[in-house]
């Protein structure tokens, strides 16, 4: 189980958090076409590599935040609260248990 670095609570087991999925922006509901809206609802990039995703610290500080996860290696980096300019660990992976930080 991944150790997910919450910007407030620090690294916590992923079961303490709720996965919010791939981060994506919401189209204007007034003007969105069905194609645009359903792309927002259902289509995900699912890349092999770094992916920006959202997590909710549901058993901790109850903040939604974003981070980047490498879908091949499982590395996590750059947790960031909405509204913040920079993350906690700059752009290096928060590789808590690895040799390189």
Binding site for other proteins (CB under 8 A): 1-3, 5, 7-11, 13, 18, 20, 26, 29-30, 32, 34, 37, 40-41, 54, 56, 58, 62-64, 74, 82-83, 88-89, 94, 96-101
- The two structure tokens encoding residue 84: 């913040």
Which residue lies nearer to other proteins by CB, 91 or 96?
Answer: 96
Q: How far is the CB of 61 from other proteins (least distance, A)?
A: 9
CA–CA distance, 38 with 12 (Å, rounded to integer): 33
Which residue lies nearer to other proteins by CB, 45 or 101?
Answer: 101
- The two structure tokens encoding residue 28: 């204007």
Which residue lies nearer to other proteins by CB, 25 or 46?
Answer: 25
Exposed, middle or buried by CB within 10 Å (0-12, 13-18, 19+), for 16?
middle
The candidate with the shortest Cα–Cα distance to 99, out of 80, 79, 75, 69, is 75
């Amino acid at each position: 189980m991944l150790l997910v670095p919450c910007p407030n609570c620090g690294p916590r087991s992923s079961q303490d958090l709720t996965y919010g999925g791939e981060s994506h922006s919401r189209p204007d509901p007034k003007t969105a076409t069905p194609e645009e809206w359903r792309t927002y609802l259902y289509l995900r990039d699912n890349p092999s590599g770094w992916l920006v995703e959202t997590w909710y610290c549901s058993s901790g500080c109850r903040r939604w935040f974003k981070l980047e996860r490498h879908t091949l290696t499982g590395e996590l980096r750059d947790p960031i609260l909405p509204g913040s300019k920079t993350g906690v660990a700059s752009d290096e992976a928060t590789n808590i248990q690895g040799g390189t930080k």
